[in-house]
Amino acid sequence: MSKKSDLCALRIKLDQAITYGTKKEALLLAKDGLKQAKKNNLPGETAYFKGQIEILKKRYTCAIEYFDAAIKYNFKDGAAYNDRALCMVELGIIDESLIYFDKGISVEPDYATIYHNKGWLLNNIGCHRGAIACFRKALALEPDRPVTYDNLADALYNLFDYKGAVEAYKKVLELLKPGCCRAIKKAIREKIKIIEKAANSK
């Protein structure tokens, strides 16, 4: 396996740790990625993992500088565009962040995470139908993404599609790993109960 492939696998682990793990776990993975990138003289990957560390430390402006550097070394790095966009969201730069999500999609159209995150933002700003389209695209690329079903359920609920929301939440429970945090599973079961109650009261 090449060093690039090793780092690609580490990126996936880091994304999973950020989503369902702990900040400590994510930071250790990001630092490991940085160490490997430096050791193998991969400047684009070095900049990318430096950006990840800055995000985890909530230093978003600094993180953007590193993601810009990563993009300079590899303009087809969809993850760098994605994470730059997320930093912009944290800084309240919403319209331009959507532009960066789209730039990432244009250079790496098979990268499911960027569709997911664009959908997350659209859902949060009230564009629920656009969000659902993004989540569907992410799931077409990676059908076993529990976090995307979780967000899809929320968007469907926002459009009063209670049946669709419950089905999506049940898919989350089906896809979550056995060792996944019990609190997450409990919260999803509670959401299902609330939605079913709302549906029955209609």
Q: Catalogue all structural domains in the chain, each as residue range(s) with its CATH number.
A: 110-202 (1.25.40.10)
- Are the C-beta atoms of residues 139 and 152 closer than 8 Å to each other? yes
* Rounded Cα distance, 81 and 107, in Å: 9
Residue 100: burial class (beta carbons within 10 Å; 0-12, 13-18, 19+) = buried
pLDDT for the residue 191: 93
pLDDT for the residue 2: 56
Amino acid at 129: R
- Are the C-beta atoms of residues 67 and 34 closer than 8 Å to each other? no
The pair phi, psi for residue 186, each rounded to 5°, is: -60, -45
Per-residue DSSP letter, 134: H
pLDDT for the residue 143: 96
* Rounded Cα distance, 130 and 183, in Å: 30
* Rounded Cα distance, 47 and 74, in Å: 11
CA 20 to chain centre: 11
Instruction: Walk along the chain (202 residues) and give the pLDDT tens digit of each residue.
Output: 456 668 888 888 898 888 877 889 999 999 999 999 999 999 999 999 999 999 999 999 999 999 999 999 999 999 999 999 999 999 999 999 999 999 999 999 999 999 999 999 999 999 999 999 999 999 999 999 999 999 999 999 999 999 999 999 999 999 987 766 788 889 999 999 999 888 887 6
In Å, how far are 9, 32, 96, 179 from 148, measured between CA atoms?
20, 26, 23, 19
* Rounded Cα distance, 137 and 60, in Å: 27
